[in-house]
């Protein structure tokens, strides 16, 4: 089987090896501090007895699962703590496909490239639904593409790469479409704490046995390296997912889960609000510079990313490498996210050097 390997690490490696200073706007690694309570949790864990250094329950520490369940309004038995949102999405898509009620996975275009890669790995067939220019997904277009062969509909809100935030009516319609086709909606909500619009709506708001919600603490707590995520399954789908999780991972990291639980208990809403405010300021700074450079761009309503289009400079891997070498700014090629954004570049605003990067781009394209 030939896997579709995403380009993120290729571009990051190319930037690191460049013979000049390069500003990294590729990765989605938050550059701000995690909450202090997270470090406190790690120190506390280090002082525990050695029996606490052994395997945790396969589906996650009980106190963490209970806290997730309470926050999301579900039963704790529906929650599996996973190796980041990546595994959560893998489990969700696998569970949808193994129902043997179709092999087709509906994906958006543009799309986060790990979703089509997982589709191929799981033996599914990709089918794409193009979003609007602003990244919004029209339920009517999804309904037109869906059929009895549809096993799974995968969406991401707030969205990577477009920054679109799907409103409640869209999410409710997507759940309804999944029910009509006897498919599963997989809603990846890993950027839910970075909704800049106030319009974010979780798929959990619509009661259904046809939706699985995935998430992680990688972005919300600024700990992408901890690999603590989760998936919320309907009761009748969760047991097989727990078994697959156990067979793939045995269990997750006990110290990481312990520290995350401690951070959730002790961190107030002001932590998340401060990070949203920082991100909103960076959006303003970066898009002002894009205006000065005469670029077309999508202003994000959520997540970390801005997509930009420069006249005569399509979003190819070759042009991304050229931008690294000649401008000292590393972004992602639009072609990595699907055919509808091949003319675009994607920039992550998780660097303290956003203003400097914007100035370099403005100077390069003037």
For range 54-79, the mean pLDDT: 98
Q: Which tokens in the block code for residue 274?
A: 């401060």
For range 296-313, the mean pLDDT: 95
Give the pLDDT of residue 292.
85
Q: What are phi and psi of 302, to 5 degrees?
A: -170, 175
The percentage of the chain sitting over the pLDDT mark of 70, rounded to a whole number, equals 99
Mean pLDDT, the chain, as a whole number?
96
Question: Pairing state of beta strands 150-156 and 184-188?
Answer: parallel
**66 and 23 both lie in a single domain:** no
Split at pLDDT 50, 70, 90, the class of 82 is very high
**245 and 323 both lie in a single domain:** no
**81 and 230 both lie in a single domain:** yes
- Is the pLDDT confidence value at 1 over 60? no
- Is the pLDDT confidence value at 344 over 70? yes
Query: Where a domain ends, among 266, 290, 320?
Result: 266
**25 and 128 both lie in a single domain:** no
**274 and 261 both lie in a single domain:** no
Query: Where a domain ends, among 249, 266, 283?
Result: 266
Give the pLDDT of residue 3.
66
Query: Where a domain ends, among 241, 266, 291?
Result: 266
**113 and 166 both lie in a single domain:** yes
Total domains in the chain come to 2
- The 8-class DSSP code of residue 220 comes to T
Q: Which domain holds residue 247?
A: 51-266
For the chain, how far is it from start to end, CA to CA, in angstroms? 45
Split at pLDDT 50, 70, 90, the class of 2 is low
Give the pLDDT of residue 57.
98
Q: Quote the CA–CA distance of 60 and 62 in Å, as a whole number.
A: 6
CATH number at residue 344: 3.90.1150.10
Could you write out the three-class secondary structure of 241-298? HHHHHHHHHCCCCHHHHHHHHHHHHHCCHHHHHHHHHHHHHHHHHHHHHHHHCCCEEE
**82 and 67 both lie in a single domain:** yes
Q: Quote the CA–CA distance of 304 and 259 in Å, as a whole number.
A: 24
**56 and 184 both lie in a single domain:** yes
**338 and 215 both lie in a single domain:** no
134-186 pLDDT tens trace: 999 999 999 999 999 999 999 999 999 999 999 999 999 999 999 999 999 99
Alpha helices in 73-224 (DSSP H): 84-97, 114-121, 139-145, 168-180
**63 and 210 both lie in a single domain:** yes
**226 and 294 both lie in a single domain:** no
CATH number at residue 112: 3.40.640.10
226-275 pLDDT tens trace: 999 999 999 999 999 999 999 999 999 999 999 999 999 999 999 999 99
């Amino acid at each position: 089987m030939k896997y579709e390997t995403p380009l993120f690490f290729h571009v990051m490696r190319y930037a690191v090896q460049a013979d000049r200073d390069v500003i990294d706007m590729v990765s989605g690694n938050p550059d701000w501090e995690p909450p202090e309570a997270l470090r406190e949790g790690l120190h506390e864990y280090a002082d525990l007895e050695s029996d606490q250094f052994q395997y945790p329950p396969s589906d996650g520490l009980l106190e963490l699962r209970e806290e997730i369940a309470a926050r999301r309004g579900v039963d704790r038995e529906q929650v599996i703590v996973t190796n980041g949102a990546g595994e959560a999405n893998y489990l969700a898509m696998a569970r949808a496909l193994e129902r043997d009620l179709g092999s087709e996975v509906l994906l958006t275009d543009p799309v986060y490239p790990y979703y089509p890669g997982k589709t191929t790995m799981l033996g599914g067939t990709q089918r794409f639904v193009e979003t609007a220019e602003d990244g919004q997904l029209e339920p009517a277009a999804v309904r037109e593409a869906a059929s009895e062969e549809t096993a799974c509909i995968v969406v991401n809100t707030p969205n990577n790469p477009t920054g679109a935030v799907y409103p409640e009516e869209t999410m409710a319609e997507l759940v309804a479409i999944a029910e009509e086709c006897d498919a599963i909606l997989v809603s990846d909500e890993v950027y839910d704490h970075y909704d800049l619009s106030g319009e974010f709506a979780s798929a959990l708001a619509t009661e259904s046995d046809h939706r699985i919600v995935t998430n992680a603490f990688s972005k919300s707590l600024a700990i992408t390296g901890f690999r603590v995520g989760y998936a919320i399954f309907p009761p009748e789908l969760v047991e097989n997912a727990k078994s697959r999780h156990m067979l793939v991972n045995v269990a997750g990291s006990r110290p990481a889960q312990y520290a995350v639980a401690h951070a959730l208990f002790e961190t107030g809403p002001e932590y998340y609000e401060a990070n949203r405010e920082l991100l909103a300021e960076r959006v303003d700074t970066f898009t002002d510079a894009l205006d000065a450079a005469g670029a077309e761009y999508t202003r994000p309503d959520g997540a970390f990313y801005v997509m930009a289009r420069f006249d005569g400079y399509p979003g190819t891997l070759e042009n991304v490498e050229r931008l690294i070498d000649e401008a000292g700014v590393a972004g992602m090629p639009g072609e990595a996210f699907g055919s509808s954004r091949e003319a675009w570049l994607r920039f992550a605003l998780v660097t303290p050097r956003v203003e400097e990067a914007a100035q370099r781009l403005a100077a390069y394209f003037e």
